[in-house]
Amino acid sequence: NSAASSSILEGGCVPVGPAASGKQSSSSASRLFGPIAYMELSNTGTGPADEMCRAGIARFRQRDFRGAMEKYEAALKLDSGHVGTLNAYALLNCDVGNLQKTEELYNKALSLYPEHAETLFNFAAYYQLMHGAAKFGECEKLYARALEVEPRQINCLFNLAALYNSRGAHKECFEVYKRILRVNPNHVDSMCNSGQLLQSHFRDLQTAQAMYTRALDISPNHDTTLYNFALLKLSQNKPLEAREMLERCVQVNPMHLWAACDLAVLAHSIDSDPDRSEKMLLEILSRDPTIPNALCNLGVLRQTVRHDVLGAIE
């Protein structure tokens, strides 16, 4: 999903993709390789601490952090080892940037319940999102412990695949997606990401195409699959088929600006309409000025079509 557009305008421009830092815009197609941030615990208990925890979660969803904190503190006074509250309170502290408190809460929960799969998952996801490569080993161990408890936990497997992908361990990542698809043969996100790995890293376009086709049979409006499949078609020099998929992609998700950027490029390369291409690129940048493909292609257009070197440099 992080593959760059293969339809860069002529002019020697090097294709670029989403930022490797993990900071993603609303249109970034790499979202499926990002980890799931948190797994909310099922809380069907009827005790006072259960009710207080649920009240805190309701406040948190309303972004009333102070109110949520008061409810969580009250729940822990009633039951200092209430695992649902410990997890929910950790999420709140992470959200407000109190990482030390976040880790204290997860560690307390695991000291009480060392085989609690949801806590193991949430602590690993926290490390993965907030610390990245620096905590790779800790994440891997926590996910492994969670999977010992619940071997078929798809969220855990999905995050583990994302962890391997972030490390460039594409073979291990692909094996985890295969494991997910054995658990749930209709898991479209895993099909999509498997196709992207096959396409970009293993150069198996035939199997990638089969994976995308299978995903779209299940979920015809899956925007990331449509986008990746369009990139595959572009790599096969089938721009008309690619454009059809890109149009479907932006129809499903108007904020998929990477797909919109490719459509802008195709307006020039297929239709020989640089004016429309430029207008489309400017519209994309008015919505998000950080899209590197739009900036790059607008620069190439201004250099090669408008002969505006200063505009291209800018």
Tens of pLDDT, residues 191-234: 999 999 999 999 999 999 999 999 999 999 999 999 999 999 99
Across the chain, mean pLDDT equals: 89
204: nearest Cα among 242, 237, 232: 232
**Is it the case that residue 266 has pLDDT exceeding 90?**
yes
234-237-238 Cα angle (round to 5): 75
Q: For residues 167-173, give the mean pLDDT.
A: 95
**Is it the case that residue 260 has pLDDT exceeding 90?**
yes
**Is it the case that residue 33 has pLDDT exceeding 90?**
no
Q: Which two tokens stand for residue 35?
A: 């980890």
Q: Are 25 and 294 in contact (CB under 8 A)?
A: no
**Is it the case that residue 303 has pLDDT exceeding 80?**
yes
**Type of residue numbered 187:** H
